[in-house]
Chain A
Amino acid sequence: MVVDNIARTQTERDLTSIPTIPQSERIAPISGAAVVDVQDFSAYYGAFRALDGVSMQIAEKKITALIGPSGCGKSTLLRCINRMNDLVDGFRAEGRLTYHGQDLYDKGVDVVEVRRRIGMVFQKPNPFPKSIYENIAFGPKVNGIKGNMAEIVEHALRQAALWDEVKDKLQQSGLALSGGQQQRLCIARALAVQPDVILMDEPCSALDPIATLKIEDLMRELAKEYTIVIVTHNMQQAARVADYTAFLMMRQDRAGELVEFRDTDALFTRPRDKRTEDYITGRFG
C-alpha cells in the first residue's frame, strides 16, 4: 500500500491545475456600499495599454489590496483613482471610474478637489523639508480648511498614531524622524485635508518590520473612518490587513488585467483562478 501510494505522489493530480474560469466567477461583488466603482476601465500611456477592461468596486470603510507581479498595472490602477496619472504625458483612460457615482474622468471635474478627497501615500516617505507642524498644516491652509490649526495638526497626528512621539518636537524638521515615523507623518499629512479615500502605494516597502506592523495597525484603525486602497508586493501584508484583494496580471500583450477579486480570506485560501493560485503559492511571478 505504501509503495503504491508513494508512487502516486510523483504523478499526483496537481491541485493547482484549476482551469481558468469565466470573469463572472472571478470578480466577486462587495458587500455594502461602494465608494469607487471601476467599470470596464482601460488605461494607456501613449500607444501602450497598461490596463485593460478592469471592473471592480472599492468598498466603503474597508481596505482593498491590489496585488500582482511587477508591471501588472496595479500602481497604474491606484493612480487612476485620484487622477495622478494625468500628470504623465500621453496618459489616456477609457471606461468608467466613478467616485460616489460621479465619473472622475468627466470634463469639468476639479482634479485638485479629487486629490483632496482621495489622498495618496507613496512608497518612500516624502515629508516636506519643513517642520512636523508645517508638514501637516500646509494642506489644510492651501485647501482653505477653517478651524484651529493647532487642533487640526494634533488631530491628524493622533489619527496617524504619531502624536505621542512628536508632541514635544513639532517644530523639528519632519526629515529628522525615522523612516516609519516619516511615513506616519505623510499619512497624517494626507488625513489633515479631510479625505474620504486614502490610496497607499507600497507604503511599507521602505520600512523595517516593526515600522511596517505599526503602519498596518494604523491602517486597520483608519479603516473605521476611511476607505483605503493599498498596492503591495507583500502578500502576507495584503492577507493581514485587507478586507478585499484584487489580483492583477500582465497578459502576453503586456496589458494589465484584473484576474480575480474577492474577499481576502477567500482569495488567499480558496482562489478560483489557476493564475491566482500559482501567484500566491509562489509558483510564478
Chain B
Amino acid sequence: MTRELFEKKLREMQEDVLIMGSMVEKAVQRSIDSLRTRDAALSNSVVSDDIAINKKRYEIEDKCIHLIALQAPMAADLRIIVSILFISNELERMADHAEGIARINLMLGEEALTGPIGDIMLMGEKGIDMLRRSLTAFIERDDASARSICDEDDEIDALYDSSYHTLIQDVIRTPQDVERVTYLIWTCHNLERIADRVTNICERVIFMVTGELEEINVSRY
C-alpha cells in the first residue's frame, strides 16, 4: 500500500463528516424537542451551537482544498473529496434549518402550541433517521441504500402536505391565529428542506460510488 499519508488524511476527513453529521443530528433533534417542550433555553443553545457547526464546515472545506492542491487526487479519491465538500455544505445548511426552528420557538413566546404537532414531530424524527442512514451509506459506499433513502422523501412531502392543509384550515377557522400558523408553516418548511438535503447527500453518495451525477428524487417544493 502506497500513499499512506493521503489515505490517513482521507480517512480523517470522512470521520470529520461523521462528527459534523452528529452535530447536525443533535441540532435538529434539540430544535424539535425545544419546540415540543417549549424550552427557550434549549432553543437558545441550538442557536449558539450553530457557530461550531459552521466552523466545522469551513474546517472540512479547508482540508478538502489542501488535499486536492497537494495530493492531486484522481478517480475514486477525487470523487470522495468532492462529495465531502458538497455533503459538508448540505449539513451546514441543515443546521441552519434547525436553528430556524429554534428561533421560531423563541418567537412563539408564551403562545400555546396547537396544530398538527404530531405530524411535525414525525417529520423531524423521520428526517433525522434519514440523515443518520445517509451517512451510514456514505461510509459503507452503499449506493443502493442511498437510492432507497431518497425515495423516503415522498413520505416527508406527504406529511408536509397534510400539516400545511391542517394549518391553513386552522387559520381560515380562526384568523387571529395567523401568527402561530405562519410560524408552524415555517417549521414544516424547514423540516421538509432538511429531508431534501438528505436526498442531496444521497446523490453525492451515489456519485462517489458510481461516478454518475443524477438527480434522484425531485422535491415538489
Contact = CB atoms under 8 A, between A and B. Distances in A.
Interface of A: 1-2, 5-6, 8-10, 12-13, 15-16, 235-236, 239, 268-271, 276-277, 280-284
Interface string B117-143: 000000000000000100110011110
Contact of A269 (B15, B78, B80, B141): B78
Interface of B: 1-3, 6, 11, 14-15, 18-19, 21-22, 25, 72-80, 132, 135-136, 139-142, 208-212
B75 A281 contact: yes
Residue among B3, B15, B72, B139 with the most chain A CB within 10 A?
B139
B2 A283 contact: yes
6 contacts: A9-B15, A12-B14, A15-B209, A270-B212, A281-B74, A281-B77
A269 B79 contact: yes
B211 A2 contact: no
A33 B6 CA distance: 41
Nearest to A7: B139
A9 B138 CA distance: 10
Contact of B2 (A15, A16, A239, A282): A282
Residue among B14, B80, B210 with the most chain A CB within 10 A?
B14
Given A8-B136, A10-B11, A271-B75, 11 more contacts: A1-B18, A2-B18, A12-B14, A239-B74, A269-B75, A269-B78, A270-B212, A281-B3, A281-B73, A283-B1, A283-B2
Given A5-B139, A15-B76, A15-B141, A270 B18 contact: no
Nearest to B79: A269
**At the interface, is chain B mostly helix, strand, loop or mixed?**
helix
Nearest to A276: B75
Contact of B140 (A12, A235, A281): A12
Contacts of B2: 282-284
Contacts of A282: 2-3, 6, 74
Contacts of B11: 9-10
Contacts of A236: 72
Given A2-B18, A5-B139, A16 B3 contact: no
B75 A280 contact: yes
B18 A6 contact: yes
Contact of B3 (A239, A270, A283): A283
Contacts of A15: 76, 79-80, 141, 208-209
B125 to A, nearest CB: 14
A2 B141 contact: no
A157 B15 CA distance: 55
A277 B76 CA distance: 8
Pairs A-B, 9 closest by C-beta atoms? A270-B211, A15-B76, A2-B22, A280-B74, A8-B139, A5-B18, A13-B141, A281-B77, A282-B3
A276 B210 CA distance: 15
Residue among A8, A9, A16, A268 with the most chain B CB within 10 A?
A9
